Amino acid sequence: MSANQAPGGAVIYRADLALLPGGWTSEAVLEVRADGYFGRVGALAGAESAVRIPGVVVPGVPNAHSHAFQRGLAGRAEKADGSGDDFWGWRNVMYRFVQQLDPEDVEALAAQVYLEMLRAGYTSVAEFHYLHRDRSGASYADPNELTRRILRAAHSVGIRVTLLPTVYVRGGFGDGPLEGGQIRFRMDAEGALEAVREIESSTGGALVHAGLGLHSLRAVGLPEMRAAVAGLAALGSAPYGRVRPVHIHVAEQTGEVRASLRWVGSRPVDYLLDHAPVARNWCLVHATHMSESEVRRVAATRAVAGLCPTTEANLGDGLFRIQEYLAAGGNWAIGSDSQITVAPTDELRTLEYGQRLRLRKRNLIASGLGGRGVHSSGRALLDGAWRGGALALGQEIGALAPGRVADLLVLDPDDPSLVGLAGDDVLDAWVFSGPGAAVRDVMVGGQWVITNGRHGAGEGVTERFRATMKRLA
Ligand SMILES: [Zn+2]
């Protein structure tokens, strides 16, 4: 697709079919402004000279939870060792892996996984960044060395990022010291806020946003949490009029619930809601093990539940109570987390299938939305991920609409999984069928980063990743 320039540097596109806020629109016109945002959008007349986009155009999917470096571990911790493998055993493998990584490794792993995200249909990622220090646990000469590496990796492939420098100050409930791989994670509230300032002064423009990560109630006690959250608020307004999100891992494991009850006398989600100003700019990652009342309380805050179904399945975490949560009107988003797979369709399918296996019924997320008539499962799942992802990343993403950023996917109507389909049927088939090759072109912030399945920087990024992995092996 070549770009026809319109006055003011905008480009007018005409999609065969696009999912606009008002619904599916044939011959949809999308004006992409020079600043990477949408201008006019709709079934507009008089756009015969527009650049045609042959295919089905939908918003890019936000990835609300990623640890980029864990791409190097994906698929490499799948051996039973007779010790009752579980999350905690996997965590030890991850700690050992972390001890091998140098800054250039972190950048190479991140660039590869971000490339894979774009190819699979993620156009933006919330990077929950908790690897800060060198192998000995000391600060790098530049304390934000690894933050910069993540930004460079994102920039090298053109993905949008909300980078969350993450506070991590203790080894577990009870103020235990950092041990093993944890020594590389140490960052206090002051350091995280300094990193937020650094990210906001980077040259990434509107493709970059910053927020705050709180690793977990295990790793961050109440005083540090309060200092970080108050410090974030005291930074004043963020660039582009955005809101800075706050993300925290919570209640991923029953062992964590037990430890919370033992050390602070309440369940982790209750404890968090009792002591932190949780609101719609918060993302509670996993929140797998909640009581019925915790489910209702989280939904009422309008915070986003950050669900990572393939990671939660891989680590044996458990199933999120999505039925009850939807009934309470809760917001949710999806994330690739440990990168065990890297595709929005995998996350959404696994989310739905967990409920089908549990309840022995079908189309549960769509039917959980209530109302009359037929609801598409693919549409219901993607609508949730688009809406919640925009909140979780604090960016103007998740819709093809005026004032939103121009992040979009072109699904190939000739892909064997989609051929002959239109409208929501396309989304059903994309999520539930096919080998995931239906994403043909990808635009981020008004720039085509993938055309006809090709990314301009892809070969170099993957070559560097291969070299890194061979050396780490
Ligand atoms: Zn995580």
Q: For residue 297, what is the domain's CATH number? A: 3.20.20.140
For residues 220 and 307, membership in a common domain is answered with yes
Q: What is the pLDDT of residues 228-283, one digit of tens each?
A: 999 999 999 999 999 999 999 999 999 999 999 999 999 999 999 999 999 999 99
Beta strands in 184-317 (DSSP E): 208-210, 212-216, 246-250, 282-286, 304-307
Summarize pLDDT for 380-399 with one digit per residue, the tens: 999 999 999 999 999 999 99
Rounded to whole angstroms, how far apart are CA atoms 451 and 158? 13
User: Rounded to whole angstroms, how far apart are CA atoms 284 and 440?
Assistant: 32
Distances (CA, A) of 304 to 197, 270, 289, 389: 24, 15, 15, 8
Domain boundary among 393, 419, 436: 393
Q: What is the mean pLDDT of residues 200-224?
A: 96
User: Is pLDDT at 21 greater than 90 in this prediction?
Assistant: yes
Task: Work out the average pLDDT over 158-176.
Answer: 95
Amino acid at residue number 269: V
| Ligand 1 centroid distance, CA of 56 (Å) | 32
Given a cut of 60, whether residue 2 has pLDDT beyond it is no
CA of 67 to the centre of ligand 1 (A): 6
In this structure, the answer to whether residues 17 and 166 fall within a common structural domain is: no
In terms of domains, do 235 and 298 share one? yes
Q: Could you report the per-residue pLDDT of 47-69, keeping only the tens digit for each?
A: 778 999 999 999 999 999 999 99
pLDDT at 3 over 60: no
> For residue 48, what pLDDT is reported?
77
CB within 8 A of 21, min separation 6: which ones? 399, 400, 401
> What CATH number is associated with residue 54?
2.30.40.10
Are 119 and 199 within one domain? yes
- Confidence band (pLDDT; 50, 70, 90) for 102? very high
Q: How far apart are CA 228 and CA 212, in angstroms?
A: 8
Which pLDDT score is estimated for 455?
98
| Residues 123, 206 within the same domain | yes
pLDDT, averaged across the chain = 95
Ligand 1 centroid to residue 312 C-alpha, Å = 10
Residue 334 lies in a domain: yes
Please tell me the distance from the alpha carbon of residue 411 to that of residue 423, in angstroms, as a whole number.
Answer: 12
Inform me whether the pLDDT recorded for 435 exceeds 80. no
Calculate how far, in angstroms, residue 102's C-alpha sits from the geometric centre of ligand 1.
21
Lowest mean pLDDT, pick from 73-87, 350-364, 367-381, 459-473: 367-381
The Cα–Cα gap between 212 and 206 comes to 18
Give the distance (Å) from ligand 1 centre to CA of residue 37.
30
52 and 68 part of one domain:
no
pLDDT at 87 over 90: no
- Looking at the fold, whether 44 and 137 belong to one and the same domain comes out as no
Does any domain span residue 86? yes
pLDDT of residue 4: 55
**1 inside domain:** no
472 lies in some domain = no
In a domain, 386, yes or no: yes
Q: Which domain holds residue 46?
A: 7-58+400-458
| Strands laid side by side in the 38-42 sheet | 38-42, 23-32, 11-20, 51-59, 408-411, 439-444, 447-451, 454-455
**Residue where one domain finishes, among candidates 342, 363, 393:** 393
**What is the 315 CA–ligand 1 centroid distance (Å)?**
11
Residue 175 has pLDDT above 90, yes or no: no
Ligand 1 center from residue 354 Cα (angstroms) = 19
pLDDT above 50 (res 1): no
Let me know if residue 345 belongs to a domain. yes
pLDDT interval class at 372 (50, 70, 90): low
In a domain, residue 469? The reply is no
Cα 2 to ligand 1 centroid, rounded to whole Å: 39
- CA of 423 from ligand 1 middle (Å) equals 34
Q: Are residues 221 and 132 in the same domain?
A: yes
- Confidence band for 215, pLDDT divided at 50, 70 and 90: very high
Asked if residue 434 and residue 293 are part of one domain, the reply reads: no
Range 96-101 contact pairs with CB under 8 angstroms and sequence separation of 24 or more = 96/180, 96/181, 97/72, 97/73, 97/181, 97/472, 98/69, 98/131, 98/181, 98/184, 99/135, 99/180, 99/181, 99/184, 100/472, 101/69, 101/72, 101/131, 101/135, 101/472
pLDDT, one tens digit per residue, over 303-342 is 999 999 999 999 999 999 999 999 999 999 999 999 999 9
- Sign for the CA dihedral angle at 124, 130, 135, 139 comes to positive
Q: What total of structural domains would you count in the chain?
A: 2
User: Are 328 and 302 in a shared domain?
Assistant: yes
Instruction: For residues 80 and 42, state if they share a domain.
Output: no
Which residue among 393, 414, 440 closes a domain?
Answer: 393
Report the pLDDT value the prediction gives residue 434, as an integer from 0 to 100. 78
Q: How far is the CA of 220 from the centre of ligand 1 (A)?
A: 15
The DSSP bridge partners found for residue 408 are 59, 443
Domain match, 331 and 413 both: no
- Domain assignment of residue 40, yes or no: yes
Residues acting as catalytic residues: 286, 337
Query: How many A from CA of 299 to the centre of ligand 1?
Result: 21
